[in-house]
């Protein structure tokens, strides 16, 4: 009696860079030549792996398509006796498609185009690509490739690949998130392995959602479902978290690392073809959808190994949002630094929560990178000086408390710290304008202007410091401040990158308390952090006797977050939002909450121009306010805050 055939499958995460064709090819080559994939018969790379996912309007350039085809050709010799899936843009006139190439034994066997293009949240794929239509006839595309790439007709379209009796089909990223999924059709036609190449960005809770989708798909379809995702801060704004998964009949047989700091991450599992057939025979339910047909392509292959081998059942890792936040920022900060070619980060350390959080995160990043990639990780990037440079720029309106917190924290995290006074700089600018307009500026009449000039006076100095170090300047704004424009343009908003703009102030404060209670083993408790958490957030731009506090200027941050979530994320109108606030915040009167709500909506309406100019930020939560990736809103709009 013949022993059951077994297949070893590897899903591969790569830390690609948009438009870095040579670098991306090298990552593919290293994986295909590695010991880890030596026994793998099926190797799945992520979506658009050859070009990078975030090429934006670069996808329109013919030289980009040509470069990907050249990379594809260089990979062909590495596919002997294995089936490899890679992603690339493909132009088949008059349309540009997001495709995956199936290559085996040195030849292209076919290409599958994405049916459902991601066009929600931070994604904008319909700007560049055309969706492949269901039941569209496959197109012969041999003319797009050199003759040496093919040995028979190759097609672009919906295809099932028969490889020594194992039927394999592809479902590309967003195709797995829609109601009418290609895998349903493929499974009805006998596909026992569904490969899902993805470019699925990090957001709180998304890994769990993704896992449930693939696990339930594998259970209901009675097949092997394999997902391969990108990792890293590929093109500046999104952070991809890896987290590759392999399921068989609803059971986890392979789990990849989440947010790894390595350039590649391989997840491997072995399954029996006969055991899949057994599961499908027992449990598969016929679909009620209309009949459909797909092209079937046979791929030459030596027989699979005749032995009973299977991977053990595993459990999904559990990580809370605070730990995920740390992991995402550690990876994002490291990737942005090394891919920009800069020599570290410079930070205006005010002794407040936002800048302190960034100092702690940079220190955590440095520590974790050295653990994961070796002590020489930064020297290999040409970074030999301290990774973080901080500066406290004092005015007469700053307290000694924040000055001490900044100095102590800088010492604790190992930063190169500086302390300067900018009163004379601010005074000279105020005096110059006073003489220009022929009156002396005063706090009663010019309070906002006098606050802003302090923040703006700091900006050129910290930029100058960053430039002397060839470092990236960190901007310290969070989503709550962005929401209501509580920032000075060309002042504290200045920076090369704003890593925490994707989370609310409430979340950030809660995360600092979590860190202070030793909630994350990667981050030590800092004495200066304990001191900071006992001080109330303040911009420290007004005279000290006014006891300025952020929440007095605005409203409690927790209430601001509730309003923002209801308005931006859920689209509720004013009365609906007020109703929710009244139910939750019974310590405030209805009139007090109404005043806060009206203030928020007014500030949101007039602050869009500020959001348009913020530094590059990371997408972290289920929604964001970055107009380039998350929430597009008119710079000028009517008085909707008074009427809706």
The CA distance from 459 to 466, in Å, is: 11
From 591, 594, 592, 564, select the one nearest 578 (Cα to Cα).
594
Report which of 565, 576, 642, 559 is spatially closest to residue 605, judged by C-alpha positions: 642
From first CA to last CA, the distance across the chain in angstroms is 74
350-389 burial, b for 16+ CB within 10 Å, e for fewer?
bbbbbbbbbbbbbbbbbbbbeeeeeeebbeebebeebbbb
Is the distance from CB of 175 to CB of 225 less than 8 angstroms? Answer: no
Closest CA to 498 of 618, 620, 389, 387: 618
**Is residue 420 within 8 Å of 392, Cβ to Cβ?**
yes
Domain ranges of the chain: 5-306, 321-550
* Nearest alpha carbon to residue 115 among 130, 93, 95: 130
pLDDT at residue number 5: 83
Distance CA 584, CA 581 (A): 5
pLDDT reported for residue 296: 80
Q: Report the pLDDT value the prediction gives residue 596, as an integer from 0 to 100.
A: 97
> What was the pLDDT predicted at 316?
82
10 Å CB burial of residue 81 (0-12, 13-18, 19+) is exposed
Q: Are 297 and 36 in contact (CB under 8 A)?
A: no
Q: For the residues of 573-588, what is the DSSP string, one character each?
A: -HHHHHHHHHHH-TTS
How far apart, in whole angstroms, are the C-alpha atoms of residue 353 and residue 350? 8
Return the pLDDT at 285: 76
| CATH class of the domain at 5-306 | alpha beta
Contact (Cβ atoms closer than 8 angstroms) between residue 316 and residue 255: yes
Other beta carbons within 10 angstroms of residue 265's beta carbon come to 24
Q: What are the start-end ranges of the H helices in 235-346?
A: 273-283, 321-340
How high is the pLDDT of residue 644?
A: 75
CA of 308: how far to CAs of 43, 271, 311, in Å?
20, 8, 10
Q: CB of 127 within 8 A of CB of 116? A: no
Which residue ranges in the chain fall short of pLDDT 50?
1-3
Which pTM value belongs to this model? 0.94
Could you tell me the CATH superfamily of domain 321-550? HUPs (3.40.50.620)
Would you give the DSSP letter of residue 503? S
Amino acid 306: pLDDT:
61
Block residue for tokens 């200066």: 528
| Angle CA 88–75–112, to nearest 5 | 35
What tens digit of pLDDT does each residue of 539-580 get? 999 998 889 999 999 999 999 999 999 999 999 999 999 999
């Amino acid at each position: 009696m013949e022993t059951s055939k077994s297949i070893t499958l590897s899903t591969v995460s790569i830390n690609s860079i948009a438009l870095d064709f040579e670098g991306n090819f090298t990552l593919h080559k290293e994986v295909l030549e590695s010991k880890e994939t030596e026994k793998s018969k099926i190797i799945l790379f992520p979506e658009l792996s050859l070009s990078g996912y975030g090429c934006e309007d670069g996808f329109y350039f013919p030289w980009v398509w040509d470069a990907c085809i050249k990379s594809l050709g260089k990979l062909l010799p590495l596919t002997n006796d294995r089936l490899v899936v890679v992603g690339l843009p493909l132009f088949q006139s008059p349309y540009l498609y997001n495709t995956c190439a199936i290559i085996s034994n040195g030849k292209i066997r076919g290409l599958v185009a994405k049916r459902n293009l991601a066009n929600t949240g931070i994604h904008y794929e319909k700007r560049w690509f055309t969706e492949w239509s269901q039941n569209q006839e496959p197109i012969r595309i041999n003319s797009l490739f050199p003759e040496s790439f093919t040995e028979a007709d190759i097609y672009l379209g919906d295809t099932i690949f028969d490889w020594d009796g194992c039927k394999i089909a592809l479902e590309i990223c967003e195709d797995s998130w829609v109601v009418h999924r290609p895998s349903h059709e493929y499974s009805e036609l006998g596909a026992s392995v569904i490969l899902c190449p993805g470019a699925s960005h990090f957001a709180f809770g998304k890994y769990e959602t993704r896992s449930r989708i693939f696990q339930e798909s594998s259970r209901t379809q009675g097949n092997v479902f394999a997902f391969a995702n990108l990792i890293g801060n590929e093109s500046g704004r999104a952070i991809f978290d890896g987290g590759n998964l392999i399921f068989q009949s609803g059971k986890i047989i392979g789990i990849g690392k989440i947010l790894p700091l390595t350039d590649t991450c391989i997840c491997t599992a072995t399954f029996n073809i006969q055991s899949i057939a057994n599961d499908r025979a027992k449990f598969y339910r016929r679909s009620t959808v209309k009949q459909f047909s797909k092209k079937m392509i046979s791929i030459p292959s030596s027989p699979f190994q005749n032995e009973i081998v299977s991977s053990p059942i595993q459990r999904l890792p559990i990580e809370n949002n605070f730990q995920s936040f740390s992991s995402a920022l550690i990876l994002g900060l490291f990737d942005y630094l090394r891919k920009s070619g800069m020599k570290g980060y410079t930070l205006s350390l005010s002794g407040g929560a936002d800048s302190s959080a960034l100092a702690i995160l940079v220190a955590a990043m440095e520590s974790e990178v050295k653990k994961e990639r070796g002590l020489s990780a930064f020297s290999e990037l040409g970074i030999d000086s301290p990774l973080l440079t901080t500066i406290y720029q004092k005015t007469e309106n700053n307290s000694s408390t924040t000055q001490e917190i900044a100095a102590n924290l800088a010492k604790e995290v190992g930063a190169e710290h500086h302390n300067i006074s900018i009163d004379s700089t601010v005074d000279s600018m105020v005096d110059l304008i006073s003489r220009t307009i022929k009156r002396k500026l005063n706090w009663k009449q010019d309070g906002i202007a006098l606050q802003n000039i302090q923040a703006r006076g700091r900006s050129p100095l910290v930029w100058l410091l960053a430039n002397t170090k060839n470092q990236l300047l960190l901007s310290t704004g969070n989503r709550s401040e962005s929401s209501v424009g509580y920032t000075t343009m060309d002042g504290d908003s200045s920076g090369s990158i704003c890593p925490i703009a994707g989370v609310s102030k409430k979340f950030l404060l809660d995360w600092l308390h979590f860190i202070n209670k030793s909630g994350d083993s990667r981050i030590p408790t800092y004495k200066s952090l304990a001191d900071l958490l006992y001080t109330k957030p303040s911009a420290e731009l007004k005279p000290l006797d006014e006891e300025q506090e952020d929440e007095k200027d605005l409203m409690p941050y927790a209430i601001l977050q509730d309003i923002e979530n209801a308005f931006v994320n859920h689209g509720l109108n004013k009365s609906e939002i007020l109703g929710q606030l009244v139910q939750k915040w019974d310590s405030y009167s209805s009139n007090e909450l109404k005043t806060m709500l009206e203030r928020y909506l007014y500030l949101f309406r007039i602050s869009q121009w500020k959001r348009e100019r913020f530094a590059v930020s990371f997408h972290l939560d289920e929604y964001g306010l970055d107009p380039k990736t998350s929430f597009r809103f008119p710079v000028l709009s009517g008085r909707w805050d008074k009427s809706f």
